[in-house]
Structure 1
Amino acid sequence: MSIRRFVRGTVPWGSLEAVAREVAERYDQEEVRVTFLETDNWLSTPCVVNDRWFVKVVSGQNALVHALFTGARNLGAFSSGREGFFEPFDGPVEMAEHELEATRKLQSIGVNAPDPVESFEVDGLGVLVLEYLPEFRPLDDLPVEDVEAYAPDLFRALAAMHENGVAHGDLRGENVLVYDGELFFIDATNVAGDGLEGARAYDLACALAALEPILGASTVVRIALDAYETEENPRTRTDNAGALLDAQDFLSFIQIRPDHDFDNAALAGEIEKTASGCDEATR
């Protein structure tokens, strides 16, 4: 058994059947086919119903694990000289409700996300229902040349989130899906409104850390420098270099997370070299 499956826990089969019955009733389905997904999600039991709905079942243990992760992430923020900016949830239902609203928010600012359907409670479990994207692939599961082609879109999407007061908070390759030639974002976490500045830097650091093992430090920093902007809010290369330096503060903490494995020294060195070059260019 993987550590993720152990930490995530197992939802009793009777409760999963109750969730399936509730989905069938809500969407007038005479028959229900449930396919459970083997993913690296720590915080829910994901499944697909009738090849139409992506359903995440969130248990009390999932909520407890999220609270532990939230505390650890806030310690990481403090160690980086920032106030903690992650907020815990009261329980599994609140977790499902938040992800529903976060998905709606992403779509409202023009960032691709699966269509949100609803969230509800069954037997004390939080249940989130989203559109199912058939034949999607996580970004980090693509060939290197495809990851490099999509990387600018990832940083542009991050910039769009941040310019609209939104932070993802848990950006990893498996939370960026490629479907029908476009990137879709899932699993945004709960970020305090007064902590957005730190959360933005953390998002950018996570994106760099996710892509560095695939593309290399030099390539991913170059792409971020060129792409981390939106048409509505253009940024200079010096602005982008400053954002990269802010992100660098979080790299050491992200390196100790079990879901990131990257060359911190190479990435930090490339950021410093790039920022120094931008400073020279503006003199």
Structure 2
Amino acid sequence: MAFRRVLRASVPQSRLRAVGEEVAKRYGEPLDSIESLEADNWLSVPCVVNERWFVKVIADQHTLVHGLLTTGRNLGAFSSGTEGFFEHFSTPVEMAEHELESTRRMRELGVNAPEPLEAFEHDGLGVLVLEYLPSFRTLDAVSSEELSDLVDGLFGNLSRMHEAGIAHGDLRAENVLVAPKDGDPTLYFIDATRVNDDAIEDARAYDLACALASLAPLLGPADAVSAAADHYSAEDLLSAREFLDFVNLRPDHDFDAAQVKGEIEKFAA
């Protein structure tokens, strides 16, 4: 627990308030409120400013933690028989600018993501400003009935990104939000990380493995693989299979890798 507290960097309230004042000023408003959100997030301090803007505040320690996690993930990729494809950031504002650009690229493809507004540096902090979704749940918090209606959209949007040469790099239930849009529950993708463009095929296979790992405990391995197979070939699924043991080592995934592998092998046969 002590180690986790060290990793989860905090930003003093005085600095958060200064960021909130700067954000509000940029949009011609005084600062009425800034609320820090409770989240198991080691890579930023998420806030809501004036109940209108979602703001991620990134400090030097978040950049350091991202580097540590990137090293660990690359070692895991080596264990799967491929070179590491995750890339780190050198500064907090670089992290913010990357997520802004990744979110823009997803939206250009028609993939739902909170509207990206801007990224900037303030007092050595990286600041990312996005549309605030006031009512959302993470993917693992929806009912099984809703999930059955959403899963095709998840794999459809993921394959759309992959066909355009984009990999998410950190796909898990917490990074897929469900929020109302025009009265219907809609998927929103957040928190894409940086991967090496020269290793995009491996990164896409890893994304697919993460999607299967996220959905298998919620839908069952057979239904998760079946849903993926509507958008991915047997070859794609077999490539994802090679990353399942690595994904299973991550603390944010809890699934039966052997069962998912078995369902992939059944489909491929």
Structure 2 residue aligned with 1:45: 45
Instruction: Tell me the amino acid that sits aligned with residue 225 of structure 1.
Output: A
The alpha carbon displacement at 1:177 in A equals 0.9
Structure 2 residue aligned with 1:234: none
SS class of match (1:227): coil
Q: Which moves more between the two structures, 6-15 or 144-153?
A: 6-15
Structure 2 residue aligned with 1:267: 260
Choose the corresponding residue for 1:216, options 201, 215, 220. Answer: 220
The alpha carbon displacement at 1:265 in A equals 1.1
Structure 1 residue aligned with 2:60: 60
Whether the aligned pair in 1 keeps the contact of 2:168 and 2:193 (CA below 8 Å) is yes
Return closer, same or farther for 1:221/1:54 CA change in 2, 3 Å cut-off: same
User: Normalising to structure 2: TM-score of the pair?
Assistant: 0.95
Whether the aligned pair in 2 keeps the contact of 1:63 and 1:91 (CA below 8 Å) is yes
SS class of match (1:96): helix
1:155-208 deviation per Cα after TM superposition (whole angstroms, max 9, x unaligned): 010100010010000001111111222111000000111010000000000000
User: Normalising to structure 1: TM-score of the pair?
Assistant: 0.90
Structure 1 residue aligned with 2:89: 89
Check if 1:73 corresponds to 2:69.
no
- Equivalences for residues 1-283 of structure 1 within 5 A: 5-180=5-180, 181-228=185-232, 240-276=233-269
Whether the aligned pair in 2 keeps the contact of 1:5 and 1:42 (CA below 8 Å) is no
Instruction: Tell me the amino acid that sits aligned with residue 206 of structure 2.
Output: Y
Residue segments in structure 2 that go unaligned for 5+ positions in a row: none
**Counterparts of 1:242 and 1:264 in 2: how far apart (Å)?**
18
Whether the aligned pair in 2 keeps the contact of 1:57 and 1:127 (CA below 8 Å) is yes
Return closer, same or farther for 1:3/1:261 CA change in 2, 3 Å cut-off: farther
How many residue pairs get aligned? The number is: 265
Whether the aligned pair in 2 keeps the contact of 1:4 and 1:40 (CA below 8 Å) is no
CA RMSD after TM alignment? 1.4
Q: Runs in 1 of length 4+ with deviation above 2 angstroms?
A: 1-6
1:14-58 deviation per Cα after TM superposition (whole angstroms, max 9, x unaligned): 211211111121111123211211122221100111121100001
Task: State the identity as a percent.
Answer: 60
**Counterparts of 1:104 and 1:2 in 2: how far apart (Å)?**
37
Whether the aligned pair in 2 keeps the contact of 1:20 and 1:32 (CA below 8 Å) is no
Instruction: Tell me the amino acid that sits aligned with residue 130 of structure 2.
Output: L
SS class of match (1:78): helix
Instruction: Tell me the amino acid that sits aligned with residue 261 of structure 1.
Output: D
Residue segments in structure 1 that go unaligned for 5+ positions in a row: 229-239, 277-283
**Counterparts of 2:2 and 2:228 in 1: how far apart (Å)?**
33
1:219-255 deviation per Cα after TM superposition (whole angstroms, max 9, x unaligned): 1011111234xxxxxxxxxxx1111110011111111
